[in-house]
Amino acid sequence: MPKSIPELQEIAKRVRRDIIEMTGAAKSGHPGGSLSAVELVVDLFFHTMKVDPKNPAWKDRDRFILSKGHAAPVLYSVMAEAGYADTPKDQLNTLRKLGSVFQGHPDVRYIHSLEASTGSLGEGVSLALGMGLAARLNHSPSRTYTMLGDGEIQEGQIWEAAMAGAFHKLDNVVAIVDYNRIQLDGFVKDIMEVEPVADKWRAFGWHTVEIDGHDFAAIQGAFAEAAATKGKPTCVVAHTIKGKGVSFMENNPKFHGTAPSAQEVQLALQELQ
Amino acid sequence: MATKTKFEVKLGAATREAFGRELVELGRANQDIVVCDADLSKSTMTVYFAKEFPDRFISCGIAEADMVAIGAGLAYGGKIPVVSSFSAFVINKGFEQLRVAVAYPKLNVKVVGTHSGISIGEDGPSQMSVEETGLACSLPGFVVISPADELSCRALFREAVNHNGPVFVRTGRPKCPILYTADQKFEIGKAVELADGKDVTVIANGLLVAQAMIAADMLDAEGISVRVVDMHTVKPIDRDAIRKAATETGAIVVAEEHLVDGGLGVRVAQVVAETAPVPMEFVGIQDTYAESGQPEELLEKYGLVAKDVAAAIRKVAGRKR
């Protein structure tokens, strides 16, 4: 049953706490880009996507590929919250440790419920197109969503795939750009400007929607619009805040790839009460 | 001892042509086979499949990285994707995707590289793949096959499709001498002994198998008895055939249309070193890129014809104690 927005907001808060605790325990990882994606991923798994955590191999399920694989903590936490058997909630804090199923980047060898192994940026749209083509050939209603980082769209393969998605009229594919404006080395505009993002996707033939990526109503509206769009794939350019929800992490490039210290974990968890 | 039958060169189809024809047959039998090509279907010969099964032919444009990862997505979706381009392009431009999107999750993707080696000819080095076998073998879990003629290519491609996991099949542009008859059985990882001999073994694949057969006849006249083994599967390699060759003939020549660094030769040498060390010689492309020319001229110039195999056989025979 899809959740109400207040319920989704409660889940989002728990997921944010998980992200802080997981990366804090691991003493490494990518909290900033996990926190920016929380509402989007929570909405997909608890509202928009047709999935059955008790039957993850269901053929006609909708699929989610975390192309920005470094944001693995948000995906692990959401899947644990959704109740997938191979993402046990009580093991989330083993993230990145030897023997953990919670690998540094999503790895289908350890978690079969994941849709794809990712981590090398630029591959998610192509993977989604392959899944979309397979669904079309199988006459399946399955839809495929992939989440990209804004820095990630600097990769050339993204635009090869953008061209191909429109050419093959894959209206069962949705790309989401988590547009938090920060990448590892600093602000995207200073490393390699990607603007105008929405115009680029439109020019490549995608139905393109720009939204506030922390507003559940807007997120749901965009995904509904994507589902109603025929003959072309949809790109949702989601404007987000890196480190969203933790004051000292918000818009701070340091927390792209640095875990919070033990003290920062405590401060962050207080803010996320 | 029976008189040796002399090997006669009769040209059959190119291995790319054999692949293209077999692909259609397999496509008829299995609805899950989907083909991806990057604007070279008329050269890779996936065009036959495209004509018969347009819905299962995915035109990817000139975008190999995207194509390989689309193949991965199709495999995640339960399809059997056959991803094809020139070896030089699919392996090199698609390598990162072969690694992370295909090999790492060990997906059921079949990659077929055509126009391998320098026998592509006039187009020159940018289109000539001389590194593909080494690169494909470096991917954990990949099966790597390099067939020598039409029939073996068809049979081994069939095996590749039946195998559950990633496979790279190396094919070439020119017509190949016929080596096999229809009754020959092929198995992934099981080499074929084409000629028996007691003094030296030549282990070859691709175009060099026929050259090894010609060389064996040349050496027979000189009183050196040569065994010829078609090592069509480079990975997993047939360790038993190599150990047997080393212990029974005491000297090995490896011949391939690939850089000597990183191809079949080093893989055979590793097994020889681990099992039964014997003198070895290597026929292949030295540390260089080739040039434009006719295929036969190039194979001659870069030392990949029967006389080069023969010279290596004499040399290795001379090194035996």
* B34 interfaces chain A, CB cutoff of 8 Å: yes
For position A106, which CATH number holds?
3.40.50.970
CB atoms inside a 10 Å sphere around CB A57: 8
Find the CB nearest B72 among A130, A157, A168. Answer: A130
Spell out the domain ranges in chain B.
11-177, 192-315
CA A184 vs CA A9, A69, A149, A253: distances in Å: 28, 14, 11, 7
Share of chain B above pLDDT 90, in %: 98
Look at domain B192-315 and name its CATH class: alpha beta
Q: Do A117 and B104 touch (CB under 8 A)?
A: yes
Its pTM stands at 0.96
Residues of A within 8 A of B73 (CB-CB) are 116, 126-134
Asked if residues B212 and B184 have their Cβ atoms less than 8 Å apart, the reply is no
Average pLDDT value for residue range B26-46: 98
The ipTM, to two decimals, is: 0.95
Q: Does A127 contact B at CB distance below 8 Å?
A: yes
Contact pairs from chain A to chain B, CB under 8 Å: 108
**Cβ neighbours of B56 in A, within 8 Å:** 137
pLDDT < 70 positions in chain A:
none
Strands lying side by side in the sheet with B80-86: B57-59, B33-37, B80-86, B110-114, B167-170, B143-145, B233-235
- The pLDDT tens digits for B132-154 are 999 999 999 999 999 999 999 99
pLDDT digits (tens, 9 = 90+) for B160-216: 999 999 999 999 999 999 999 999 999 999 999 999 999 999 999 999 999 999 999
The total of structural domains in chain A comes to 1
Q: How far out from the chain centre does Cα A152 lie?
A: 12
Predicted confidence (pLDDT) per residue in B42-66, tens digit: 999 999 999 999 999 999 999 999 9
Q: What is the mean pLDDT of chain B?
A: 97
Lay out the sheet containing A207-212: strands in order across. A63-66, A144-149, A173-179, A234-239, A207-212
What's the CA gap between B49 and B30, in Å, rounded? 12
- For residue B1, what pLDDT is reported? 40
Of the candidates B59, B69, B99, the beta carbon closest to that of A130 is on: B69
pLDDT of A225 reads: 98
Please tell me which residue in B17, B22, B64, B281 is annotated as part of the active site: B64
Residue A177 pairs with which residues in a beta bridge? Answer: A148, A237
Residue B158: its pLDDT value, please?
98
The parent domain of residue A162 ranges over 5-271
Sequence-distant contacts of A201-204: CB under 8 A, at least 24 apart: A201/A162, A201/A175, A201/A177, A201/A235, A201/A237, A204/A159, A204/A162, A204/A163, A204/A165, A204/A166
Q: Does B20 touch chain A (CB under 8 A)?
A: no
The confidence score (pLDDT) of residue A107 equals 98
What beta strand segments (E) does chain A contain? 63-66, 144-149, 173-179, 182-183, 186-187, 207-212, 234-239
Where are the alpha helices (H) located in chain B, listed in sequence order? 15-29, 41-44, 47-52, 64-76, 87-92, 95-97, 132-137, 150-162, 208-221, 239-249, 264-275, 295-301, 306-319
| Residue B150 annotated among the catalytic residues of the structure | no
pLDDT at B4: 66
pLDDT-derived band at B2 (thresholds 50, 70, 90) equals: very low
Report the pLDDT averaged over residues B228-244: 98
Q: Encoding tokens for residue B9?
A: 């060169």
Q: Is A67 on the interface with B (CB under 8 A)?
A: no
Q: In angstroms, how far apart are the furthest CA atoms of chain B? A: 62
- Angle among Cα B68, B74, B79 to the nearest 5 degrees reads 125
Please check the confidence at residue B299 and state whether its pLDDT lies above 60. yes
Q: In the CATH scheme, what is the code of domain B11-177?
A: 3.40.50.970
State yes or no: pLDDT of B5 exceeds 90.
Answer: no
By the CB < 8 Å criterion, does B213 face chain A?
no
* Residue B3 reports pLDDT greater than 90: no
Q: Does A137 touch chain B (CB under 8 A)?
A: yes
Mutation for A interface: B37, B66, B83, most A CBs within 10 A: B66
Nearest by CB to residue B61, choosing from A131, A157, A164, is A164
For residue A120, the chain B residues in CB contact (below 8 A) are: 96, 99-100
